[in-house]
């Protein structure tokens, strides 16, 4: 895996149970892409989610990188920037996001770790920040979405998608998807 760029935002899905977690792991990747991350790093056994997210990138645009690895722990331990672990046991998102933003969006790559099953205590130790959205149990996809929106202060919602085959046309009712020009 290549070294991250200085202000790159990456999401690492920690753990995946094939069959059981396919939909949730896919949604972690789609949420990371749609809300401003630069890449998703899936566990090596998350074949179907990686294929689905790669297909979405090819059809609806990027840039967004999809990686698979069997060295999740090494990536976290050796990350050259800041590691944020999203967990219901962490510090409140509203108390720490500004500090994380000031540090990471200018000159440090950011790795956001999202658990898929029981996360070992080592991950809590390796993280620079353990961050919670509400300190209550809920979906890791919801936690990632809230964190990314707060990190980027809503600017990710204006993102332009390069090399898209299809473009969704916003409208009040119905669906409209057109071929990109």
Structure tokens at 115: 């658990």
User: Was 119 annotated as part of a binding site?
Assistant: yes
Q: CA 72 to CA 60: how far, in whole Å?
A: 28
Tell me how far apart the 2 most distant CA atoms of the chain are, in Å: 49
**Is the pLDDT reported for residue 1 higher than 80?**
no
Q: Please compute the mean of the pLDDT values over residues 75-82 and round it to a whole number.
A: 96
Helices (H), 61-165: 72-78, 93-107, 121-126, 140-152
- Residue 85's pLDDT is 98
User: Was 117 annotated as part of a binding site?
Assistant: yes
Task: Convert the pLDDT of each residue in 19-74 to its tens digit.
Answer: 999 999 999 999 999 999 999 999 999 999 999 999 999 999 999 999 999 999 99
User: Was 36 annotated as part of a binding site?
Assistant: no
- Residue 2's pLDDT is 56
- Residue 130's pLDDT is 98
**Is the pLDDT reported for residue 158 higher than 90?**
yes
SS3 82: strand
- Residue 114's pLDDT is 97
Q: Where exactly are the structural domains of the chain?
A: 9-179
pTM: 0.95
Q: Which residue has the tokens 């899905």?
A: 13
- Residue 67's pLDDT is 98
- Residue 148's pLDDT is 98
- Residue 108's pLDDT is 86
User: Was 115 annotated as part of a binding site?
Assistant: yes
User: Was 118 annotated as part of a binding site?
Assistant: yes
CATH T-level topology, domain 9-179 = Alpha/beta knot (3.40.1280)
- Residue 106's pLDDT is 72
């Amino acid at each position: 895996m290549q070294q991250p760029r200085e202000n790159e935002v990456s999401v690492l899905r920690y753990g995946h149970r094939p069959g059981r977690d396919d939909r949730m792991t896919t949604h972690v990747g789609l949420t990371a892409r749609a809300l401003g991350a630069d890449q998703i790093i899936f566990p090596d056994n998350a074949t179907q989610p990686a294929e689905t997210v790669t297909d979405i990138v090819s059809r609806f645009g990027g840039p967004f990188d999809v990686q698979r690895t069997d060295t999740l722990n090494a990536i976290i331990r050796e990350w050259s920037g800041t590691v944020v672990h999203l967990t219901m046991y962490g510090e409140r998102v509203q108390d720490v996001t500004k500090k994380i933003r000031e540090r990471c969006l200018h000159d440090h790559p950011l790795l956001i770790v999202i658990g898929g099953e029981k996360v070992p205590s080592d991950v809590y130790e390796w993280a620079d920040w353990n961050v919670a959205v509400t300190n209550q149990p809920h979906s890791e996809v919801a936690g990632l979405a809230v964190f990314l929106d707060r990190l980027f202060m809503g600017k990710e919602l204006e993102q332009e998608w390069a090399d898209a085959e299809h473009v969704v046309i916003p409208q009040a009712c119905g669906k409209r998807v057109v071929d990109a020009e």
